[in-house]
Amino acid sequence: MRLSAGRPEGRASSIVVRARLAALAFVLLPPCHADVVVLKNGDRLAGEILKLEKQRLSLKTAYAGTLMIDWRMVERLSTERPLEIQFDSGLRASGRIQECPQGIEILTEKGAIRTAAPRVAAMTRTREQAGWRGNLQGNVDVGHSLIRGNSTLSQSSLGITTRYRAETTTMQLGLISLFSRQGNTPATSRHSLTVRYDVPLSLRSFAFTLTTLERDDRQRLNRRWNLGGGWGRKLVKSDRSEASILGGFTYANEDFRGTRNSSGEALAGFDLDTTMANRFRLTSKLALYPGFFNGSRYRVVFDGGLRVPLIGRFTWNLRVYDRFDSRPPLPVRRNDYGLINGIGIGF
C-alpha cells in the first residue's frame, strides 16, 4: 500500500521538477530560430537556414550540426528571419519566407511573391545579419620565379581582388604589383590599382565612380591617375555569372619621366565574372579610353584572370594584363603585356 501510494506522488513530483526546469531554461536560454524545411518525402527539419548555394541548402541545427540538403529534395520551407533570395532569372528579392500549398511565399516590403522552390537559385542571410565580413569576398595571391642562365632573372608578384556588397552599394578593388630584376640592371616594377563604387538605379542599371592609379617602369610611366564615373547596365545577372557594360568620362593626369599632361577621356568598358563547372572562376575587364582633346590617341586596358581551387581556401591564380597606348608621349613600346601566376587564398 505504501509503495503504490508513493508512485503517484513520485510522478507528480517529477512532473513539477521538469516543468520548473523547462521554465528556467525558457527564461535563461536565448530563443532559437524556427526555420522549417519540408522535404518531398514528408520529413520536417527545424533549424536556422544559412544559405543556398550550388543546389545545396545549409541548415544549422542544434541536434546534428549543419546539414547540407540537396535543394532538389526540398518541397517547401518557412523562415523566421528575412533572407536575400535570387531567382533563376537573375531577379532578387528580400523577405521572410512562409509555406504555401504550391511552394513558397516570400513576404517582401512591396508585397508577397509566390513561386516554386526550384525557381530559387540562391539564398543568403541579409546584409545586417551577415555583418561586414559576410559581405566581403576576395582573393590574395603571391608568386615568385627565379631563372639563372647567362644572367639572373628574378620576378615577384602580388595580386589582390576584393568585392564588398552592402544593402544598396557595391565596392570593388583590384591590385596587381609586379617586381622584376635581371642581372645587375636596375629593378623595374609595375603597379595597377583600381577602385570602383556602384550605386544601383534600377534592377539592371547602376551609376558608378572609378579611380585608377598606375605606375609602369617599362613604359617610363611614373604615374597615371584617373578619376571619373558614368552609367552601367548588367547584361547577365545570376548566381554563377555577371556581365556588365560601362560608359562614362574620366579625367587623366600623367607623368612620363618629366613629361606631364592632363586630359579628358571617354570610357567604354565590359566586365565579366563567371564560374565554370562550379569550380573555375573566370574574370575579364576590358576598357577603351579615347582622348577628348587629342582624338588620334586612345588607350586600351585589359585585365583577365582564372582562379582554380586547390585545397580548402587555397587557389591557383593565372592573371593576364595588357596596356596599349596608341601614341605614348615618350619613344617607348605602345604595348605592355604579361602573364602572372601564383598561389592564393580566398576569403
Q: Is residue 23 over pLDDT 80?
A: no
The reported pLDDT for the residue numbered 259 is 86
**AA letter at 107:** L
Q: Spell out the domains of the chain, with CATH numbers in brackets.
A: 35-130 (no CATH), 135-346 (2.40.160)
Lowest mean pLDDT among 15-19, 36-40, 97-101, 312-316: 15-19
Calculate mean pLDDT across residues 135-161. 85
Q: Is residue 170 over pLDDT 80?
A: yes
The reported pLDDT for the residue numbered 16 is 44
The reported pLDDT for the residue numbered 172 is 94
- Note the Cα 2 to chain centre separation in Å: 72
Cell output for 124: 543568403
The reported pLDDT for the residue numbered 241 is 83
Lowest mean pLDDT among 29-38, 280-289, 303-312, 318-327: 29-38
Q: Is residue 273 over pLDDT 80?
A: yes
The reported pLDDT for the residue numbered 132 is 57
Model's pTM, two decimal places?
0.66
Q: Is residue 221 over pLDDT 90?
A: yes
Q: CA-to-CA distance for 53 and 239, rounded, in angstroms? A: 8
Listed in sequence order, the residues at least 6 apart from 184 whose beta carbon sits closer than 8 Å to its beta carbon are none
Cell output for 343: 598561389
Specify the higher pLDDT residue, 148 or 309: 309
Specify the higher pLDDT residue, 116 or 212: 212
Q: Is residue 316 over pLDDT 90?
A: yes
Q: CA-to-CA distance for 326 and 194, rounded, in angstroms? A: 21
Calculate mean pLDDT across residues 131-140. 73
Specify the higher pLDDT residue, 233 or 150: 233
Is the Cβ–Cβ distance between 115 and 102 less than 8 Å? no
The reported pLDDT for the residue numbered 215 is 95
The reported pLDDT for the residue numbered 248 is 97
**Percent residues over pLDDT 90 in the chain:** 36
Q: CA-to-CA distance for 285 and 92, rounded, in angstroms? A: 24
The reported pLDDT for the residue numbered 1 is 37
Q: How confident is the model at residue 94 (pLDDT cuts 50, 70, 90)?
A: confident
Q: CA-to-CA distance for 198 and 209, rounded, in angstroms? A: 7
**Mind listing the pLDDT tens digit for each residue in 5-15?**
444 444 445 54
Specify the higher pLDDT residue, 218 or 174: 174
Specify the higher pLDDT residue, 113 or 142: 142
The reported pLDDT for the residue numbered 239 is 62
Q: CA-to-CA distance for 261 and 138, rounded, in angstroms? A: 35
Calculate mean pLDDT across residues 212-234. 94
Lowest mean pLDDT among 17-21, 39-43, 109-113: 17-21
To which residue does cell 586600351 refer? 300
Q: Is residue 28 over pLDDT 60?
A: no
Specify the higher pLDDT residue, 139 or 129: 139
What 277-283 contacts at long range (C-beta under 8 Å, 24+ apart), as own/partner pairs, is 278/54, 279/308, 279/309, 280/306, 280/307, 280/308, 281/305, 281/306, 281/307, 282/306, 282/307, 283/161, 283/307
